[in-house]
């Protein structure tokens, strides 16, 4: 699939009347230039022609032989009279932040000299990844192509020509001296009234590209078995696979074990039925693996190994070519994710990750197609509630599930409903995490916390920081976290006591 579809966007911006409003300073600079040279210059008229290189404007006022010296003097005066009063165009900061939110890079390509462009951006508080000066019209195209800019935003018809010359998608703004029709005629692929509309447009554009990439990837894979937990990611993957491949080419499989809350299984069944997907519920036995029971920092490795080695033969039996997981692009950069590693080693495919879809984009796309899971809170397995080093047992899993259900109900009855809730089993005590805004109200409510203690916890405390995914990772020794951060998902698996390995030539056909 095209790299542009899955990679983070590289967005180029023009400067004057796109990101920067220097009109007041430009008029003042021309006034000073007139005073120094004795040449009458209509600054307001010059501002109305912003866009082309300075020398072209000065040629209207000075003989050709005097233009280079006038340009040098103008730039010296501009640094004093224009740069300090530079202002951002409406929406400039939000536009740059939108590119950052998509994980992208910002490149400013302008006809202005590089040093003045950087000085002006510094006054605005905008820090692009790269600033390139002395480029205008088609000359911008070479820079666009050289630096991999795939979207270029500008207000001038020459900006549109430059974008086309560089092979970038051209976004025209009517904030300069050109109307929508003129920008379109010059090659604009889309015209916006200003940068205020750019963030939403960019988010939709990047999402559309990645959904197209997901469709292409699924068609490439063909028939798939979706490892379906019922969470936002796997639900969207299942829905898009059914939409793309048809219900006869897709099967959902939800692994049933003591680590899966009963409510999650019921929800998964309902979602699969609503999508018209065949839904299977194979049993997994991760508790039989010593590495899982021991509950070390790599517990998820053994869990996902069990899942993959269960679903692989099932997929083969059903004539499905691949087992697909809901791993998204954020997961791949989350640092310590041994479970992802275990699935990858066993051939599982990751269509969402391959298409570059982030968690935010999965939720946006889910909402777009009407999936109820678009805003579903994260719902990790019950074992994720048990502190590393505390043995995972059916008893501990069951009491965590009961404690969470009881506390959620008690909070609702008290008018303190929470979106996210975890009861962490720390061995000698339980730690409760709820939405941060609810922490003060819950901290003093021993009557509510008593429903957690009733499940056999000797002491119950409220985490003052509230809910956050992966909170138990904070309890890992610093050296373990440091190694994990360096290794990420590419680290080799630890020795897997209790991990089953298939004999050569007989392993699960996961990919």
pLDDT value at residue 491: 35
Task: Work out how many domains the chain is built from and give that number.
Answer: 4
User: How much is the pLDDT for 5?
Assistant: 61
In a domain? residue 132:
yes
pLDDT at residue 334 above 90? no
Query: How buried is 72 (Cβ within 10 angstroms: 0-12 exposed, 13-18 middle, 19+ buried)?
Result: exposed
**What pLDDT is recorded for position 336?**
62
Question: Does some domain include residue 220?
Answer: no
Rounded-to-integer distance, Cα 288 and Cα 292, Å:
8
Tell me the percentage of the chain whose pLDDT exceeds 90: 83
Same domain, 185 and 318: no
Mean per-residue pLDDT for 158-175? 97
| Separation between Cα atoms, residue 99 and residue 409, nearest integer Å | 41
The two structure tokens encoding residue 507: 């392993």
> Burial, 402: exposed, middle or buried (Cβ in 10 Å; 0-12, 13-18, 19+)?
middle
Among 3-17, 45-59, 135-149, name the one with the lowest average pLDDT.
3-17
Inform me whether the pLDDT recorded for 188 exceeds 90.
Answer: yes
> Which residue range is the domain that position 105 belongs to?
3-17+90-204
One domain, residues 305 and 395? no
Residue 109 to residue 103: CA distance in whole angstroms: 20
Residue 463 backbone dihedrals phi, psi, to 5 degrees: -70, 120
Residue 360 main-chain phi, psi, to 5 deg: -60, -40
Q: Domain check: are 358 and 267 in the same one?
A: yes
The 3-state DSSP class for residue 431 equals: strand
Q: Give the residue from 354, 380, 406 where a domain finishes.
A: 380
Q: Are residues 189 and 80 in the same domain?
A: no
Mean pLDDT score of the chain: 90
Instruction: Judge whether 443 and 411 are in contact, CB under 8 Å.
Output: no
Is residue 233 situated within a structural domain?
no
| Average pLDDT over every residue of 57-84 | 96
Tokens of 156: 């001038």
Residue 45 — very low, low, confident or very high, per pLDDT cuts 50/70/90? Answer: very high
pLDDT over 90 (residue 475): no
Query: Is 68 found in the same domain as 149?
Result: no
Q: Is the pLDDT of residue 94 over 60?
A: yes
| Contact partners, residue 36, CB within 8 Å, separation at least 6 | 73, 77
Domain with 45 in it: what CATH number? 1.10.150
CATH number of the domain at 286, please: 3.40.50.620
Identify the pLDDT of residue 323.
97
In this predicted structure, what is the pLDDT of residue 469? 77
**Three-state SS string across 72-128, please?**
HHHHHHHHHHCHHHCEECCCHHHHHHHHHHCCCEEEEECCCCHHHHHHHHHHHCCCC
Confidence of residue 494 (pLDDT cuts 50, 70, 90): very low
User: What are the C-alpha distances in Å from 83 to residues 86, 87, 132, 335?
Assistant: 5, 9, 17, 42
The fraction of the chain above a pLDDT of 70, given in percent, is 90
Whether residue 269 is found in the same domain as residue 298: yes
pLDDT in tens, 428-442: 899 999 999 999 999
Pairing, β 105-109 against β 10-13: parallel
Domain boundary among 204, 222, 249: 204
pLDDT at 365: 97
Read out DSSP for 259-310?
TS-HHHHHHHHHHHHHHT-EEE--B--GGG-HHHHHT-TTHHHHHHHHHHHH
Q: Which of 232, 307, 243 is nearest to 277 (CA)?
A: 243
């Amino acid at each position: 699939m095209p790299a542009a579809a899955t990679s983070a966007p590289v967005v180029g911006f023009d400067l004057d009347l796109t990101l920067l409003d220097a009109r007041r300073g430009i008029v003042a600079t021309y006034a000073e230039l007139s005073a120094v040279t004795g040449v009458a210059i209509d600054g307001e008229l010059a501002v109305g022609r912003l866009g082309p290189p300075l020398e072209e404007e000065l040629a209207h006022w000075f003989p050709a032989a005097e233009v280079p010296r006038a340009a040098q003097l103008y730039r010296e005066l501009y640094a004093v009279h224009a740069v300090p009063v530079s202002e951002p165009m409406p929406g400039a900061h939000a536009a740059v932040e939108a590119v950052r939110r998509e994980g992208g890079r910002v490149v400013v390509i302008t006809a202005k000299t590089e040093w003045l462009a950087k000085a002006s951006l510094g006054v605005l508080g905008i820090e692009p990844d790269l600033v390139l000066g002395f480029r205008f019209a088609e000359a911008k195209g070479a820079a666009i192509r050289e630096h991999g800019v795939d979207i270029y935003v500008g207000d001038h018809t020459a900006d549109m020509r430059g974008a086309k010359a560089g092979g970038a998608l051209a976004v025209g703004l009517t904030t300069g001296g050109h109307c929508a029709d003129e920008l379109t005629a010059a090659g604009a692929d889309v015209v916006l009234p200003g940068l205020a509309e750019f963030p939403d447009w960019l988010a939709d554009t990047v999402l559309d590209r990645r959904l197209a990439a997901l469709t292409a990837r699924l068609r490439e894979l063909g028939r798939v078995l979706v490892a379906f937990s019922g969470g936002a990611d796997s639900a969207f993957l299942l829905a898009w696979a059914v939409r793309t491949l048809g219900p006869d080419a897709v099967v959902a499989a939800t692994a049933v074990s003591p680590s899966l809350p009963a409510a999650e299984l019921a929800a998964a069944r309902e979602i699969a039925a609503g999508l018209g997907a065949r839904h299977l519920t194979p049993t997994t036995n991760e508790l039989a693996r010593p590495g899982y029971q021991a509950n070390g920092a790599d517990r998820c490795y053994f869990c996902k190994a069990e899942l993959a080695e269960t679903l692989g033969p099932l997929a083969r039996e059903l004539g499905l070519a691949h087992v697909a997981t809901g791993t998204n692009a954020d997961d791949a950069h989350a640092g310590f994710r041994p479970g992802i590693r275990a699935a990858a080693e066993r051939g599982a495919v990751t269509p969402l990750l391959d298409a570059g879809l982030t968690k935010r984009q999965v939720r946006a796309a889910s909402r777009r197609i009407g999936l109820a899971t678009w805003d579903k809170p994260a719902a990790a397995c019950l074992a994720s509630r048990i502190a590393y080093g505390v043995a995972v047992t059916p008893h501990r899993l069951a009491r965590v599930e009961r404690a969470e259900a009881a506390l959620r109900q008690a909070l609702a009855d008290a008018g303190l409903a929470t979106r996210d809730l975890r009861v962490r089993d720390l061995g000698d005590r339980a730690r409760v995490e709820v939405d941060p805004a609810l922490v003060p109200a819950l901290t003093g409510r021993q009557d509510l916390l008593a429903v957690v203690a009733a499940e056999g916890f000797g002491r119950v405390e409220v985490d003052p920081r509230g809910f956050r995914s992966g909170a138990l990772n904070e309890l890992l020794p610093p050296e373990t976290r440091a190694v994990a951060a360096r290794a990420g998902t590419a680290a080799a698996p630890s020795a897997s006591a209790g991990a089953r390995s298939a004999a050569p030539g007989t392993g699960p056909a996961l990919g």
